[in-house]
Amino acid sequence: MIRLEAKRLSVTPPGAAEPAIGECSLALRPGERVGLAGPNGSGKTSLLLGLAGLWPSEGELLLDGIPFQYGGDPTARRRIGMIQQDPSSQLLQGTVRDELAFGPRNLGVEEAETRRRVERLAQRLGLADEADRNPLLLSAGRQQLVLLGAALATAPDLLLADEAAAHLDPAARRLVLEVLQEETARGMALVWASQSPEELAAMDRVLDLGPGTPAAEFPSASAAGAVGSPRLRVEVSALDPAAASDGPLVRTCRPLSLEVGSSGIQGVVGSNGAGKSVILGAICGLVSCAQVTVEWRERGTDPPIAALQFPELQIFQEQVSDEITYACVSRGRPAEAALADASNWLRRLDFTPEAFLRRRTWNLPMGAKRITEVIAALAAPASLYVLDEPTAGLDGLRRARLAEILCELSEQRPLLVATQDREWLSAMGVTPLEITQAVGA
């Protein structure tokens, strides 16, 4: 039996003149797991949206032999779960519990069965203690666990997932792979797009959409630690679990101290929800947290600048070139100088600068959105450059090239990076500050 079959499928994004992916064929049986690989921009997202019947396509698309392409009978699509790249943009309910229940309720599942599914998945994915929290207040990694639970709560015959574990810490990633194994053992078919070798290795087979990418070589020079006179000192007090609330918290079991110099790279690591983004937000003045004390010793004329972990919530200009130059111009740097730097970095990141800078931001894939915001931050004058999960969803080549660029820039400026990508930090010679989470916090 074939669960999903695509025959010579070409997918065209709404409003586009040309297909983003052309004449792709795929047959997927119940319980089978197919990984979807390829460099950023190779068409993974377009193919998934085409396979879900959400974007226009040509060719043939069948679910258990029933056609269900874009614009046709939506009945078959009720049996398909879809997780897209932008976690925060898919959350609709005020609590994690209601988010998990949203799909089954809309499909008409009886309330007792809905509650049973929600309880099972909340326990299995480690979300039970957060069931009454607003999912929009969770970290990106915890949001991804919520979205996986919400998709699985509909008991889909087919799950299509686009970088659905890009923000997860190693333990959470292992848990997700275990859960996917359990669900596919029950007959659910899976198409899982990812840049993670670990995730792709857990699939039964892998469909690679891109040409072979050049070998990813990381820089040999070390960019470790703070260099030069101290510019900033940050103290974080240990969390009292009894006083924990729903506000911005750093869930550390011990006091933390971080010093930033006038150059060099500092890293912050920790499990999902530990509070990495809270520390970065407090440094930039975006978050108020009583645990975090920020002492500037040499601030300079330009405030810190941040590329946040949700680039889709940070972008607001229509064209990439305008997005990249906005902060530069507002801080007194000519747009031409910023675009010259951006073009150089884009070329090194294996993009065509002229075409990339003309693109509309609203239809950029997630990797391109992340690159846009990182470059926009790096091109602007700032006393500190703060990058939150800058490699999430990036392919191996671009991870390595970005490391190379940051190492070079760190010779003259300070950078602070929060990430789950420990291998990437280690390759740059960075020994990060680790948040050890308080038990019960």
Check pLDDT > 50 for residue 262.
yes
- Per DSSP, 286 falls in state S
Rounded distance between C-alpha atoms, residue 207 and residue 192, angstroms: 10
Average pLDDT over residues 284-306: 91
Average pLDDT over residues 432-440: 79
Quick one: pLDDT at residue 225?
Answer: 60
Quick one: pLDDT at residue 441?
Answer: 53
pLDDT digits (tens, 9 = 90+) for 38-94: 998 889 999 999 999 989 899 999 999 888 888 776 777 789 999 998 888 899 999
Collect all residues with Cβ–Cβ distance below 8 Å to 53 and sequence separation of at least 6.
61, 68, 69, 70, 72, 74, 76, 77, 80
User: What are the CA-CA distances from residue 276 to residues 86, 279, 302, 418 (Å)?
Assistant: 19, 5, 23, 6
CB-based contact 268:418 (threshold 8 Å): yes
**Which tokens in the block code for residue 355?**
């075409």
Average pLDDT over residues 356-385: 94
Say if pTM beats, i.e. exceeds, 0.75: yes
Average pLDDT over residues 250-277: 94
**Does the domain at residues 4-208 carry the CATH identifier 3.90.420.10?**
no
Q: Which amino acid is at 379?
A: A
Rounded distance between C-alpha atoms, residue 277 and residue 279, angstroms: 5
22 falls in which pLDDT band (50, 70, 90)?
confident
User: What are the CA-CA distances from residue 398 to residues 189, 278, 362, 402 (Å)?
Assistant: 30, 27, 21, 6
What three-state secondary structure class fits 195? coil
- Considering only 53-62, 143-152, 369-378, which range has the smallest mean pLDDT? 53-62
Quick one: pLDDT at residue 226?
Answer: 58
Quick one: pLDDT at residue 246?
Answer: 67
Q: What are the two backbone dihedrals, phi and then psi, of residue 265, each rounded to the nearest 5 degrees?
A: -115, 130
**More reliable by pLDDT, 21 or 376:** 376
What three-state secondary structure class fits 58? strand
**Which tokens in the block code for residue 251?**
């869930």
Quick one: pLDDT at residue 229?
Answer: 76
Check pLDDT > 70 for residue 221.
no
Quick one: pLDDT at residue 331?
Answer: 96
Rounded distance between C-alpha atoms, residue 39 and residue 43, angstroms: 9
Rounded distance between C-alpha atoms, residue 330 and residue 68, angstroms: 49
What three-state secondary structure class fits 44? helix
Check pLDDT > 60 for residue 220.
no
**Which tokens in the block code for residue 141?**
């990694």
CATH node for 232-435: 3.40.50.300
Rounded distance between C-alpha atoms, residue 135 and residue 117, angstroms: 18
Check pLDDT > 90 for residue 228.
no
- Considering only 130-134, 297-301, 311-315, 398-402, which range has the smallest mean pLDDT? 297-301
Rounded distance between C-alpha atoms, residue 372 and residue 367, angstroms: 9
Quick one: pLDDT at residue 50?
Answer: 93
**More reliable by pLDDT, 436 or 76:** 436
Rounded distance between C-alpha atoms, residue 255 and residue 25, angstroms: 54
Average pLDDT over residues 159-174: 96
User: What are the CA-CA distances from residue 226 to residues 99, 386, 416 (Å)?
Assistant: 42, 14, 10
Quick one: pLDDT at residue 365?
Answer: 86
Check pLDDT > 60 for residue 214.
no
Rounded distance between C-alpha atoms, residue 124 and residue 127, angstroms: 8
Check pLDDT > 90 for residue 23.
no
184-188 long-range contacts (CB < 8 A, ≥24 apart) are 184/31, 184/32, 184/33, 185/31, 186/31, 187/30, 187/31, 187/157, 188/30, 188/31, 188/155, 188/156, 188/157, 188/158, 188/159
Quick one: pLDDT at residue 263?
Answer: 93
Collect all residues with Cβ–Cβ distance below 8 Å to 167 and sequence separation of at least 6.
87, 139, 140, 141, 143, 144, 272, 309, 389, 392, 420
Average pLDDT over residues 186-195: 96
Check pLDDT > 90 for residue 222.
no
Span(s) in the chain for CATH 3.40.50.300: 4-208, 232-435
